[in-house]
Amino acid sequence: MPNLRLALAQTNPIVGDISGNVATILEVVAEAARNGAEMVVFGEMAVTGYPIEDLASRESFILDAEMAVKKFALTINELGLGHIAVVLGHPAMATPEEQTGWAIALNCASVLLGGEVTGRYAKHHLPNYSVFDEYRTFVSGNELLTFEHKGIRFSTVICEDIWQSGGPVSKLGSARTDVALILNGSPFEIDKDDTRRKLVEDLAKRHNCAAAYVNLVGGQDDLVFDGDSIMVDSQARMLVRLKQFKTDLVYVDFESKDDIQVVAEHHLTKPNDNWQVWNALVLGLRDYVRKNNFKSVILGLSGGIDSAVCATLAADALGAENVFGVSMPSKYSSDGSKDDARDLAERRNMNYRVEAIEALVQPFESQLELFGLAAENLQARVRGLILMSLSNKEGHLTLTTGNKTELAVGYSTMYGDTVGGYAPLKDVEKTLVWELAKWRNQYAQSRGEVEPIPISSIEKPPSAELRPDQVDQDSLPPYDVLDAILEAYVNNRKSIDDIVGYGFDSEMVRKVFTLVDHAEWKRRQGAIGPKITGMAFGRDRRLPITNRYKG
């Protein structure tokens, strides 16, 4: 019989659905109890979902969340589970003295035991960079919470607390902590996982304690929480890694802080980066659809790589029967493109239809006397109008198929190919779109399945097909060069001089900067999509539209 059986619970809450999230937490606690656990730890804000943004400034919301926690403590006690310590994240009101104008709440971890809230920790380090605005809406806490359960000393901290120096986390050792419980709402970014692991290992070493790092899982607007919770012992040995991109519940038997056994099978590794990115995109899309009460998606199938990858992601996320592809050929569409669009849909047995645009375009062209760029944009907008009309008529969510590179340089038609509520490839640069397409085909092959993406969609030169013989490279640098310049400018904030110094052509760099800056108004009106890099467009990168800086 172990000293204590601890359950790490990786749940997928829905922001604002307090009663639904608490119901899930109750199911998990009951299951953990059946499996002999005496403690269950959940992620940051598991009660409300995360991030709650300005909901944190609504008093009714914070009070509802606090009340739900108190009621939940009573409920589990009434169910005979009061002996189980439950540690979970939720917001709570700060005292009137602590509150400032917009920041009225604390980001808390509470300990429930015997029907009561027996302890509460408030997050000290409030992230206020990248997609996070916590200094805007939360008051900072200053006290470490340490408590004993079954003779073991636990301390709680929350997410950003372990990413910064100083604060309550520095007292873990002096508080003689056996196990640090770290509640997290940490979104996926390519390669971020190893940073987390290192932070947790360092913490265990520095403070001579075991550490349970429990993350949320699931998509919330533009963020994808990937789970991947971990436990290390006080020797900083990683013991277990929870599933990535799935809910999970894992038990560890605790003898002492350097003698911890994982119950049942477990793993310490995870698949490669392409697998991770693909699954992040699938989960982000699935949860946006599900949590916003859609059942199906509609998108234009051009025969090109972007729409092929989007449709495949959607089929993986929702089932091909919930994907509605529309081919919208014009007089400039090649037979190859039309064939590729049909081929794509047939490979997965998606819903598919053809709506030729010529009869819809022509009346505009002649009434408004459109030619040149205006006529090119017209075609894209007629396609957008078709998709939105079918979305309205049939109830599908419209997907926008543009990628990060296009979004960066504004290579799109506003209210044309940009229409839709969700953009699966928003943070996926063009070169990575190709890589993912190839990877997904190989993955299918390795499982004996039909490759979902037509090879010619991968291999042909990309084209918007808005005029005869057009290819993207008529107006843009080659995509490998373009993506390298964008990486330096957008992700790494380098200057023109810096990038020219790397060996790129000066005129080309200047042109790319101008394109990026002039497209800011388009990005402001763009659909949200899942962040997978360290610098996504949207809340992650906030620049003025009116901006004459060129450097």
Contact set for a copy of itself, span 88-127 (CB under 8 A): 100-103
Within positions 362 to 421, which residues make up the interface with a copy of itself, using CB under 8 A? 363-364, 367-370, 373-374, 377-378, 381-382, 384-386, 388-390, 392-393, 414-415, 419, 421
The least distance separating a copy of itself from the CB of residue 351, rounded to whole angstroms, comes to 15
In a 3-state reduction of DSSP, which class is residue 220? strand
Whole-angstrom CA distances from 383 to 369, 380, 416 are 19, 5, 6
Under rule CB under 8 A, how many of the chain's residues touch a copy of itself? 83
Binding residues among 209-268 for a copy of itself as defined by CB under 8 A:
220-221
Using CA atoms, how far apart are residues 296 and 397, in angstroms rounded to an integer?
A: 6
Q: How near is the Cβ of 318 to a copy of itself at its closest, in Å?
A: 16
Q: For residue 120, give the nearest of 84, 148, 89 by alpha carbon.
A: 89
Distance CA 86, CA 39 (A): 6
Interface with a copy of itself in residues 432-491 (CB under 8 A): none
Compute the distance between CA of residue 151 and CA of residue 123 in angstroms, rounded to an integer. Answer: 25
Residue 163: closest CA among 187, 212, 127: 127
14: contact with a copy of itself by CB under 8 A: yes
Show contacts with a copy of itself in window 147-206 (CB under 8 A). Answer: none
Rank residues 64 and 339 by Cβ distance to a copy of itself and give the closer one.
64
Nearest to 161 by CA among 187, 181, 188, 177: 181
Half-sphere exposure of 210 (CA within 13 A, CB side): 24
CB of 52 to a copy of itself, least distance (A): 7
CA angle 391, 298, 378 (to 5 degrees): 75
CB of residue 231 vs a copy of itself: minimum separation in angstroms? Answer: 28
Distance CA 490, CA 260 (A): 44
310 counts as catalytic: no
Residue 59 C-beta: closest distance to a copy of itself, Å: 7
Q: Which is nearer to a copy of itself, 141 or 454 (CB)?
A: 141
Active-site annotation holder among 66, 108, 123, 189: 123
Q: Which is nearer to a copy of itself, 363 or 448 (CB)?
A: 363
Six token digits for residue 21: 């999230």
Q: What 8-state DSSP symbol labels residue 489?
A: I
Q: Of 172-180, 197-205, 284-292, 404-412, which segment contacts a copy of itself by CB under 8 A?
A: 284-292
Closest CB 161 distance from a copy of itself, rounded Å: 15
The alpha carbon of 114 is separated from its chain's Cα centroid by a whole number of angstroms, namely 36
Classify the C-alpha dihedral 239-243-245-246 as positive or negative. negative
Among 23, 36, 128, 502, binds a copy of itself (CB under 8 A): 128
Catalytically annotated residue among 108, 159, 209, 310: 159
Residue 538 is given by DSSP the state B
Nearer to a copy of itself by Cβ, of 76 and 224: the residue is 224
Q: Does the active-site annotation cover 270?
A: no
CB closer to a copy of itself out of 76 and 423: 423
Region near a copy of itself per CB under 8 A, out of 233-241, 255-263, 332-340, 361-369: 361-369
Selected binder of a copy of itself within 34, 60, 194, 507 (CB under 8 A)? 60
Q: Both tokens of residue 127?
A: 């992230």
Helix residue ranges, H only, 272-409: 273-291, 305-318, 335-348, 358-368, 372-394, 404-409
State yes or no: is 159 an active-site residue. yes
Residues designated as active site: 44, 123, 159
